[in-house]
Structure 1
Amino acid sequence: MRVRAPELLGRGWLNTAGELSLRDLRGRFVLLDFWTFCCINCLHVLDELRPVEETYAEELVVIGVHSPKFVHEADPVALAAAVERYGVHHPVLDDPDLVTWQAYTARAWPTLVLVDPEGYVVAQYAGEGHAHAIDALLAELVPQHRERGTLQPGDSPYVAPEVEATDLRFPAAAVPLPGGDGGGVLVADAGHDEVVVLDAEGAVVRRIGGFREPNGVCLLPAEVAAEVGYDAVVADTVGHRVWGLEIATGATRVLAGDGTQWMQGDSLERLSSPWDVAWWQERIWIAMAGLHQLWTLDPRTGEVAVAAGTTNEGLLDGPLAEAWFAQTSRLAPDGDRLWIADSETSALRYVQDGAVHTVVGSGLFDFGFRDGPVDQALFQHPLGVTVLPDGSIAVCDTYNGAVRRVDVAAGELSTLARDLAEPSAAYLDPADPGVLVVVESAAHRLERIALGAASSVDGFSHTTQRPVTDVGAALELTITFAPPPGQKVDDRFGPATQLIVEATPPSLLRSGDGRGTDLTRTIVLDPAVGDGVLHVAARAASCDADGGEGAACRMHQQDWGIPVRVVAEGPGELVLPLGGV
């Protein structure tokens, strides 16, 4: 049965001259991209779709439907900044109340829905890796609709916003330089795709390009720099590389990554959105945000290794190989500890003695602004962490626009500064350790804050407004997947699919957890636990149908974190679309 696409409803529109409707776009294909700007997978999809948008510039209109997870993401000013920051070059519907999200029964960020020129839904996909499938489907459908006379190509409704010229544009991180290096600060200037050297007065000394949204920088010890021939390391997030940088000359070299995003089954020659780098325990540590892992790089040998994390997204402490992370964003070495700002779980965590520990944070969907005992305290998507002289930890609580202070010994959280524009990193002023220099990303500047007395904020607590799914205790889980046109599921060399099911809390699942190759599974939930988050990770490989052993194969993958509530007589089936018509 053909399904008519629901109308596009929300608070307003960006990147276009006025409101749009599906009726306005009749005669062209419409691809709806349900996204939220905190989500690294959504940012990956923005890049994946660019070639498709170019290929079908006249036949296809891509519309981003922004469906926020965090309170801050519902702020229209913050959304406008994110649309500029991430180079979104198509219209965006602002859907803060998830009206259109629910009309299309989206369950995951990102979700893609293709609507044909007659206004009917023809395909739905969840997660990453579907651009080639959409391309193949359009290659099949465009000629059909052209022959039927239902396709009416036209110009894009995209209207570019005006962009203010500033020395820095969405700076993400900064480190002070030692004397004699020709400048005072090294800045990862993500919005300009550059690393910038500033002098002590903040004037630009040198711009070093060749990056794509670099989000992290660190300096190597002088003796290591002399040995390897570069003195700084750059996390090139959208470029999926880690670079070595010689600050005095601006010379760069690739240390890790081939520029292609890592997908399941790839080797460590590929990376996935490295967000930060830090020197700790004689290695460069990498916050691999796109994989929810920590990696290491030995600058002397070039060896790359996975240090922690399973690639599952969530908050789970324990041995490094078993821990779960969620878009780790910033790293701060502190003796035998490595502090971590784990953004999607709104958590402050650390690595020590081969294990991961959490100080503040409780899960993917719980966040807020609350000071007090650390077991009750709350952040909202923190991106920065800095060790202070007294051993306490400053956290750039990005989506709360604040810098918070964690007294680790006392187990208390307080607030140092508020009303900042997305603080994303900070460092201590070498000339005055009583001053914290904060990278105020959305204000495009570095801001100085005195480390004075902290205040206590009652603030708020919040659980994401994403709808909770009522389910029965016995649940048949089905992941739907159909290969793109011209491809098939190829299992000649082993299973082409994988399904992993876990839960938070773990006691929610009585049975059916763990890893398997079938995309269907019967799981049993505990009514006594009542509610929690079902973590489902699925992947499927498809290959060219007529390519033989040399067939090109592609991976489709998605992680779902689904808030569920066990109710009597609840539905006994949960269907999640990985991809297909």
Structure 2
Amino acid sequence: MRLRAPELKGRSWLNTGGAELSLGDFRGRFLLLDFWTFCCVNCLHVLDELRPLEEKYGDALVVVGVHSPKFAHEADLDAIKAAVERYEVGHPVLDDPELVTWQNYTARAWPTLVLVDPNGYIVAQYSGEGHAHALDALLAEAIPEHEAAGTLTRGKSPYVAPKPEPTDLRFPAKAVVLPNGNLLVADAGHHSLVELAMPEPAGHKSPMNADTPGNKSPMNGDTAGGVVRRVGTGERGLVDGMRARFSEPNGLVLLPAKVADQVGYDVVVADTVNHALRGLTLADGNVRTLVGTGAQWMDGDGTDVLSSPWDVAWWQDRVWIAMAGVHQLWTFDPLTGVTEVAAGTTNEGLRDGDAAQAWFAQTSGFAATPERLWFADSETSALRWIDAHDINADSNNDNNARDRNDGLQDLQVHTAVGTGLFDFGLRDGKAEEALLQHPLGVTALPDGSVAIADTYNGAVRRFDPATGLVETMATGLAEPSGAVVTGSELLVVESAAHRLTPVPLGASAEINEFSTRTQRPPTMIAGGEITLEVVFEPPPGQKLDDRYGPSTRLMITSTPTQLIRSGEGDSTDLVRRLEIDPRVGDGVLHVAVQAASCDNSDEVEFPACHLHRQDWGVPVQVSMDGPDRLELVLSGAATP
């Protein structure tokens, strides 16, 4: 049965020059709806995947982003406008804060893609990332068919590019203090690094009155904090040398002087959208690629390819990598060039314990102390740490530090603040009761406490391990994403305000507390036995590939674990019978699926193959009147 695409409903449109659009405005062309939210790293991957398709099929295909927020901050219109600019979204965006269009198209994952044909009928639906090749194959077949039938009308997209006001910094991400006392800032929006002279401590403005009209200085109005030099041309790309190119660099770490002398570079850069680590030599500004090819890591790629490294830290004789794109922690040894997985299974969520079995959720910020590596898990709104007690226990010199792989196996992961994927808020007090909202940075303070860049709350928070308490240092900030200690101040990277803002280390602020859950409607399911099916249809010209074993894999777990009485675990079948405990009531089904497909032509000696993967965290509500079947679409027909 052919399904009509529902109307596009929301609060407003962005990137259209003020025009309000409807489904009828896209009649005659293919319409690809991209349901996304700007906190989601997988959604950001899809933005990059779609750019070549938009260029290839530009006059026959219009991409429309449907922004469907997960966090409260993501429903703020100014925040959405900033995100559309930050990530260089080159197509119209429908702002859907109430998730009306999301529900009408039965989306259950960020991101979800829905293709609508020129007659207004739904062609296919995809969940997750990695579907550009499938869309390409489908469009290559469908466009000539509609052109021959006279139903395709080629034309321009209604996209109108915004015109932001120039600033010295554009969406800066992290900063590090250099040996000369200056600051090095990852200027993500300008695809470059900026060295800034450290401002004078006296006469700075407080974060509460930082929004002075016309204030463009990267140092919040201080004339002493000027730009010393810029590393990188400012053009997006992956180019080494003296005229380097970056793509949204985020994390920075200064190597110990002894290590830097041996390897020939001083700073390691997490070049996020290039999926690479880059090395910067401070003396001459030369940049080299350390790990990564520009391609994104997929299952089976080994550790020479990365996936959205968001931050880096020097801890226990290694560079640690917050591998946000696959929800893991990796390490890089500058002396050997070896990159390896240190913690995490690639499952997204919050699970403590043995590092190899722990779950993470878009780790985005590090702070290293001798005993612990602190990190911010943004999607679970959590502050967590790893213990160092078993690493290098018997090593007192660099030679012994080289032999340390066994110690990595004994790491333990702990959570100080945070409970899961869908709970967040703003609350001080005991750590087990405190709430954050999508934090992106952490900073170790001189007194042993930890400052948290509580990004979506626009605040800086402090956690004291000695007392187990969380308090708020400052509010009113525009998406703080990192900070460094400079004397008696914390210099905060105020990303959405394009500046650095000082906060006294002893500062405190009153807050208006709130607690909430993601407003995504839960999926109703029945108690007792239900059937969960993942729908997967290979792209045109491809078939399931089982030459090297089963072509599909399905893993199901739940939070709380008592939600599933039986049926959890791994299997190769995409249909699973689950027994749901009706007494649990609410919970989250964690569903991870992968499917391998290859060219089905017998004439091709080495057919191209693709691995399709998606992780769902499906909030569910158990009701005896609920349906006994749950269908999740990885790739195939949609049923609005």
Normalised-by-shorter TM-score class = over 0.9
Pairs aligned (count): 575
Could you tell me how far 1:566 is from its partner in structure 2?
1.4
| Counterpart Cα distance in 2 of 1:317 and 1:70 | 23
| Counterpart Cα distance in 2 of 1:496 and 1:262 | 19
Alpha-carbon contact 1:371-1:458 (below 8 Å) kept: no
Matching residue of 1:551: 607
Counterpart mapping for 1:471-550 below 5 A? 471-473=525-527, 474-546=529-601, 548-550=604-606
| AA of the residue aligned to 2:425 | G
Say if 2:279 is the partner of 1:237: no
Say if 2:587 is the partner of 1:564: no
Q: In structure 2, the residue corresponding to 1:47 is in which secondary structure?
A: helix
| AA of the residue aligned to 1:10 | G
Q: Larger % of strand: which? A: 1
RMSD over aligned Cα atoms: 1.0
| Counterpart Cα distance in 1 of 2:173 and 2:562 | 39
Counterpart mapping for 1:60-75 below 5 A? 60-75=61-76
Q: What do the CA deviations read for 1:38-69 (whole angstroms, capped 9, x no partner)?
A: 00000000000000000100000000000000
Say if 2:187 is the partner of 1:186: no
Alpha-carbon contact 1:371-1:456 (below 8 Å) kept: no
| Counterpart Cα distance in 1 of 2:497 and 2:509 | 24
Q: In structure 2, the residue corresponding to 1:416 is in which secondary structure?
A: strand
Could you tell me how far 1:124 is from its partner in structure 2?
0.4
Alpha-carbon contact 1:372-1:456 (below 8 Å) kept: no
| AA of the residue aligned to 1:136 | A
Matching residue of 2:115: 114
Alpha-carbon contact 1:271-1:288 (below 8 Å) kept: yes
Could you tell me how far 1:198 is from its partner in structure 2?
1.3
Which one of 259, 266, 289 corresponds to residue 254 of structure 1? 289
Could you tell me how far 1:4 is from its partner in structure 2?
0.4
Which one of 441, 446, 451 corresponds to residue 389 of structure 1? 446
Matching residue of 1:206: 229
Matching residue of 1:291: 326
Alpha-carbon contact 1:414-1:457 (below 8 Å) kept: no
Q: What do the CA deviations read for 1:64-94 (whole angstroms, capped 9, x no partner)?
A: 0000000000000000000000010000000
- Structure 2 spans left out of the alignment, 5+ residues: 199-223, 233-244, 390-410
Of 17-26 and 278-287, more deviation after overlay is shown by: 17-26
Matching residue of 2:221: none
Matching residue of 1:272: 307
Matching residue of 2:213: none
Amino-acid identity (%)? 65
Say if 2:335 is the partner of 1:300: yes
| Counterpart Cα distance in 2 of 1:470 and 1:129 | 28
Q: In structure 1, the residue corresponding to 2:582 is in which secondary structure?
A: coil
- Structure 1 spans left out of the alignment, 5+ residues: none
Alpha-carbon contact 1:480-1:577 (below 8 Å) kept: yes
| AA of the residue aligned to 2:561 | P
Q: What do the CA deviations read for 1:223-268 (whole angstroms, capped 9, x no partner)?
A: 1100110000000100000011101211111111111101122211
| Counterpart Cα distance in 2 of 1:549 and 1:559 | 32
Could you tell me how far 1:533 is from its partner in structure 2?
0.6
| Counterpart Cα distance in 2 of 1:517 and 1:503 | 18
Q: In structure 1, the residue corresponding to 2:52 is in which secondary structure?
A: helix
Alpha-carbon contact 2:475-2:509 (below 8 Å) kept: no
| Counterpart Cα distance in 1 of 2:620 and 2:496 | 35
Matching residue of 2:163: 162
Say if 2:600 is the partner of 1:577: no
Say if 2:417 is the partner of 1:360: yes
Alpha-carbon contact 2:526-2:625 (below 8 Å) kept: yes
| Counterpart Cα distance in 2 of 1:361 and 1:438 | 22
Counterpart mapping for 1:34-45 below 5 A? 34-45=35-46
Could you tell me how far 1:157 is from its partner in structure 2?
0.4
Alpha-carbon contact 1:243-1:255 (below 8 Å) kept: yes
Q: What do the CA deviations read for 1:240-297 (whole angstroms, capped 9, x no partner)?
A: 0001110121111111111110112221111100000000000000000000000000
| AA of the residue aligned to 2:296 | Q
Alpha-carbon contact 1:65-1:93 (below 8 Å) kept: yes
Q: What's the TM-score once normalised by structure 1's chain length? A: 0.98
Q: What do the CA deviations read for 1:455-506 (whole angstroms, capped 9, x no partner)?
A: 4535100100000111112121100011111111110111111111111111
Alpha-carbon contact 2:438-2:454 (below 8 Å) kept: yes
Matching residue of 2:380: 345
Q: What do the CA deviations read for 1:122-152 (whole angstroms, capped 9, x no partner)?
A: 1000001101100110000000000110000
| Counterpart Cα distance in 1 of 2:36 and 2:567 | 30
| AA of the residue aligned to 2:35 | F
Q: What's the TM-score once normalised by structure 2's chain length? A: 0.89
| AA of the residue aligned to 2:367 | A
| AA of the residue aligned to 1:580 | G
Matching residue of 1:172: 173
Counterpart mapping for 1:24-43 below 5 A? 24-43=25-44
Alpha-carbon contact 2:474-2:507 (below 8 Å) kept: no
Counterpart mapping for 1:322-337 below 5 A? 322-337=357-372
